[in-house]
């Protein structure tokens, strides 16, 4: 298991015999056929025997996959999994509506909640992820950061801390999460809203695997909510809120707050002589 670049490197070092490979599996094939990875992927396929099988798996179907025969000289057979048969059919998609400046506070409260205190959090840039990590650490919320530039040992250490429950959040960018597989991941949080349906799908696919339950939660303001509905596609969105230390759908947790305040009595109007009814004007 490895990236195309790493497998080619091992082949050059004569530690991997590509001419003996009978089957090649391209996981997240839409990404491996993208411009950044395409040359390495094509070179890897060229080094395989002519009699071999190539399997491509992807959560989304884009132009790269449709033209796969042009890139790696193969005539593919497409097999699509319907929504009802999807391994992610038990995933709930929802959102918390809050001002942008309040997103850090929402994450902090989630970290101390009873039922939403472990999540993979997606941020659009590594700089913003690092800044978010500093803010959370200041409020006694330990997190780990997945960076595409990090050494493999650092990456493994961050993932292990998260899996063992020693930290509530694992912060990641879209590039850094490629190939990430965390068993029984309960929640995926879009701290920054996804830019496209493909991006939303790839992020969300980290939870609810193999038919297990999962939650995808986006933190949005009122303007971003409209954009979220577009990128979420056919997924029904449920609004959530934090209530009494728990994350709950807003329809279940909304209730009248008890109050000890006495009702305010209306002030009586005065008559035409300037007197208030019930009181005589003193001489």
Q: If you average pLDDT over every residue of the chain, what do you get? A: 82
pLDDT at residue 267 in the model: 53
User: What tokens appear for 188 in the block?
Assistant: 């995926």
pLDDT class of 253 with cuts at 50, 70, 90: very low
Q: How far apart are CA 267 and CA 253, in angstroms?
A: 36
pLDDT class of 281 with cuts at 50, 70, 90: very low
Rounded mean pLDDT of 242-260?
69
Identify which has the larger pLDDT, 65 or 136. 136
C-alpha distances in Å from residue 269, one per residue of 135, 277, 281, 283: 55, 7, 14, 21
pLDDT exceeds 90 at position 45? no
Among 111-115, 147-151, 211-215, 266-270, the range with the most confident prediction by mean pLDDT is 111-115
Q: Which residues contact 187 (CB under 8 A, 6 or more apart)?
A: 116, 118, 119, 120, 207, 214, 215, 216, 217
Domains and CATH numbers, the chain: 4-72 (3.40.50.300), 83-251 (3.40.50.300)
Phi then psi for residue 212, to 5 deg, are: -80, 160
Rounded mean pLDDT of 141-146?
93
Q: How far apart are CA 102 and CA 241, in angstroms?
A: 13
Q: Which residues contact 61 (CB under 8 A, 6 or more apart)?
A: 30, 78, 80
pLDDT at residue 277 in the model: 39
User: What tokens appear for 43 in the block?
Assistant: 């070179």
Rounded mean pLDDT of 223-227?
95
Residues 4-42: pLDDT tens digits?
888 888 888 888 888 888 888 888 777 777 767 788 888
Rounded mean pLDDT of 155-160?
89
């Amino acid at each position: 298991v490895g990236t195309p670049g790493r497998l080619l490197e091992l082949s050059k070092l004569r530690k991997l015999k590509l001419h003996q490979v009978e089957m090649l599996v391209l996981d997240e094939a839409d990404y491996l056929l993208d411009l950044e990875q395409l040359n390495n992927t094509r070179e890897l396929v060229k080094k395989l025997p002519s009699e071999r099988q190539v399997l491509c798996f992807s959560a989304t179907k884009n132009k790269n996959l449709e033209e796969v025969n042009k890139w790696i000289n193969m005539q593919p057979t497409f097999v699509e999994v319907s929504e009802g048969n999807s391994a992610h059919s038990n995933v709930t998609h929802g959102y918390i509506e809050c001002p942008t400046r309040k997103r850090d506070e929402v994450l902090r409260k989630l970290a101390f909640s009873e039922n939403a205190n472990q999540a993979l959090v997606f941020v659009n840039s590594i700089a913003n992820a690092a800044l978010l990590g500093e803010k959370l650490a200041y409020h006694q919320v330990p997190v780990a950061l997945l960076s595409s530039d990090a050494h493999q040992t650092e990456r493994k250490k961050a993932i292990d801390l998260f899996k063992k429950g020693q930290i509530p959040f694992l912060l990641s960018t879209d590039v850094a999460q490629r190939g990430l597989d965390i068993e029984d991941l309960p929640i995926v949080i879009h701290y920054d809203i996804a830019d496209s349906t493909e991006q939303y799908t790839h992020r969300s696919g980290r939870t609810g695997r193999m038919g297990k339950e999962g939650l995808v939660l986006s933190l949005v303001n009122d303007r971003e909510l409209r954009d979220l509905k577009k990128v979420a596609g056919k997924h029904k969105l449920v609004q959530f809120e934090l209530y009494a230390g728990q994350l709950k759908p807003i329809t279940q947790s909304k209730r009248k707050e008890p109050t000890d305040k006495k009702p305010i009595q209306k002030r009586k109007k005065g008559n035409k002589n300037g007197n208030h009814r019930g009181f005589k004007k003193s001489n």
